[in-house]
Structure 1
Amino acid sequence: MAGGGAAAETAQGAESRVFAALASPIRREVLRLLREQGPQPVAELAAHFDMARPSFSEQLRVLRESGLVAETKAGRQRIYRLRAEPLLEVQEWLHPYERFWREKLTALAGLLDEMPDEPAAPGAAPGTVAAPVPPDPSVPSAQPATPDGNEYVP
């Protein structure tokens, strides 16, 4: 296998690890906490979640291996901080899809702008507006009734 192929495989593996890490709502919440509150010790992060410490440590391991967080030791504490660089790769991957949907929504907006505000009368030429329909005297009024069943008259 050529060197370029191995590099592409490595990049795809890293990208896959980032997507896998982002798949968990718990891990996304950890990233949000680190983004909003800055670096934190494991105990502070874990306090936000109702889960056993080994389970939470597993969540942090996945984030570490994806490159989304970094761990440093400060005495006996392990401090975690956000590493947002891998998210740039995700953003680059998503960009063509964002552009696709933006173009589709722009085209839809153009079609909606061309449509009349009122529906056309049956059999009317396209782009014409329906004339207001006068009330039918044979149809009972849509006015609300009073508690005794009589029609409400303002």
Structure 2
Amino acid sequence: MTGTADDELLKLDAQLCFSLHAASRAFDALYRIRLRDLGLTYPQYLTMMVLWETGGLTVKQLGERLRLDSGTLSPLLKRLETAGLVERRRSREDERSVSVHVTEQGAALRARAVDVPRRMLDATGLSPDEVTRLRRTLDDLTQRLDAAAGSIV
């Protein structure tokens, strides 16, 4: 936005962050509807997706993958465990390390969840190629913002 008039810089509609925020809220609203039958919130769904993909991770690895701090992740995992979808296991070698694994019930939920990404893709109206390009752009943006934040701290 170099060269943009000062008056334009502070307009809401000129903010990339607001466009991303609005899109994120729109996704959240649609996911809330799509995930209702699965009994999952969006953060729980993301957690289950990672665990379905990996089979199990430590809480630390899971937090890094999801970009969630332990204060957010711990209650989320507790709710998933109470629902019977995951189990947490303390490491025998290092009592401080806890891993999270999908239960049989959690694995069975995967079959019911498989249609969610297709339905979400359809809702975007984007082609698979457009989604791939958009994801690459957003991943690049995330890396740049992480680097910028790291250079400030």
Q: TM-score, normalised by structure 2?
A: 0.41
Larger of the two Rg values belongs to structure: 1
Structure with greater helix percent: 2
